[in-house]
Amino acid sequence: MSMLIEVEKNEFDSARRKVTSTDDVLNLKEVKEIRNAIQEHFFIICLDHRNNIKKIELLGIGNENQILINVKYLIRTALISASSKVILIHNHPADSTKPSKHDIELTNTVNKMLDIFKIKLLDHIIVTENEFSSMYSMKLINDEYKSENIKLLDKVKLEEEIYTLKEKNKELNSKLLNYMKKEKEDSEEYE
């Protein structure tokens, strides 16, 4: 189930729909609505380079203690909205703001994938009825985080970079050969 909330593009609405702090996120209507929900709800907040909200999308609803998020759909949402930055937010109905191992793994995998597209993950906030925690503030969003998923992403990224360098090398070698051929032809012409 996906609920899409498009943000108006008028001048007044964009001034009200800007994120400059965690409090701004916590005061969003969509976030207030999930704080005391009995099931986990997971949102992505897509931002432009000035932290104006471009889109808020509900990516899933789980049960009282877990939610499965399709990372491919999350990344797609950020790309389609042409986001420069994103914030993830979900609730914990069990009234604990402590991130689970799954929360940490998901967050760091998403961070690595967004980085490939030059999109910044600003935070992943967990809310309960009366409290919240910021994975950014807890220093749990870590570019050096390692897991099997991250190792695989790093390997794919490295292979892509190697492929790109090989193609660039072929292009440069071709240009060099053409240049050398032209130089040889020019020098033979003057002899």
Q: Which residue matches tokens 């009366």?
A: 130
Q: Are residues 183 and 111 in the same domain?
A: no
Distance CA 171, CA 177 (A): 10
Q: Are residues 105 and 172 in the same domain?
A: no
Helix (H) or strand (E) holding 168: helix 148-189
Q: Which has the closest alpha carbon to 44: 97, 118, 143, 122?
A: 122
147 contacts 191 by C-beta, under 8 angstroms: no
Q: Are residues 76 and 151 in the same domain?
A: no
| Structural domain range at position 118 | 3-145
Helix (H) or strand (E) holding 139: none
131 contacts 97 by C-beta, under 8 angstroms: yes
Question: Would you state the pLDDT for residue 15?
Answer: 45
CATH code assigned at 105: 3.40.140.10
Q: How many CB atoms lie within 10 A of CB 12?
A: 8
Q: With 0.85 as the threshold, say if the pTM is over it.
A: no
89 contacts 125 by C-beta, under 8 angstroms: yes
141 contacts 121 by C-beta, under 8 angstroms: yes
- Indicate the number of domains in the chain: 2
Q: Are residues 113 and 160 in the same domain?
A: no
Distance CA 180, CA 186 (A): 10
Distance CA 77, CA 92 (A): 23
Q: Are residues 30 and 103 in the same domain?
A: yes
40 contacts 89 by C-beta, under 8 angstroms: no
Each residue's pLDDT tens digit in the chain (191 positions)?
Answer: 444 444 444 444 444 589 999 999 999 999 999 999 999 999 999 999 999 999 999 999 998 888 889 999 999 999 999 999 999 999 999 889 999 999 999 999 999 899 989 999 999 999 999 999 999 999 999 877 777 777 777 777 778 888 888 898 999 999 998 888 888 887 777 66
Distance CA 150, CA 162 (A): 18
